[in-house]
Amino acid sequence: DAGVIQSPRHEVTEMGQEVTLRCKPISGHNSLFWYRQTMMRGLELLIYFNNNVPIDDSGMPEDRFSAKMPNASFSTLKIQPSEPRDSAVYFCASSFGTSGNNEQFFGPGTRLTVL
């Protein structure tokens, strides 16, 4: 298996533009997680899905952020409109079962820079 795949790996955009990050989880995993990592705030969970259903989105910072999982092999995280404070590395992770008692497999991340 290729592991968790994220695209793009790097994204540079201007404030106000829409940004879409993509994730393909490991086949057979039924949980998917979106995290954001910054020096100031560390690794924060934004949202997680179980069997394609959003279970907890309490970490989504505001309405500008939205996430979807239309099927078991694809998820998107959208920021509209983007702001400079959204600059961070965004990781997608997947696991078989919930994350507490199961290993999470992380993708390589998308480094987002909003100018």
Partner 1 sequence: SQKIEQNSEALNIQEGKTATLTCNYTNYSPAYLQWYRQDPGRGPVFLLLIRENEKEKRKERLKVTFDTTLKQSLFHITASQPADSATYLCALDDTNAGKSTFGDGTTLTVKP
Chain positions contacting partner 1, by CB under 8 A: 4, 33, 35, 42-45, 48, 50, 55-56, 91, 93, 98-101, 103-109
For residue 81, whether the previous peptide bond is cis, meaning omega lies within 30 degrees of 0, is yes
Least distance in angstroms from the C-beta of 31 to partner 1: 8
Q: Which is nearer to partner 1, 15 or 43 (CB)?
A: 43
Half-sphere exposure of 80 (CA within 13 A, CB side): 9
> Which among 30, 23, 31, 33 has a CA at the least distance from the CA of 3?
23
Half-sphere exposure of 50 (CA within 13 A, CB side): 7
Q: Which pair of structure tokens corresponds to residue 110?
A: 């998308």
CA distance linking residue 10 with residue 112, whole number of Å: 6
Q: Which is nearer to partner 1, 36 or 82 (CB)?
A: 36
Q: Which is nearer to partner 1, 4 or 79 (CB)?
A: 4
Least distance in angstroms from the C-beta of 81 to partner 1: 27
Q: Which is nearer to partner 1, 4 or 114 (CB)?
A: 4
Least distance in angstroms from the C-beta of 89 to partner 1: 9
Least distance in angstroms from the C-beta of 28 to partner 1: 16
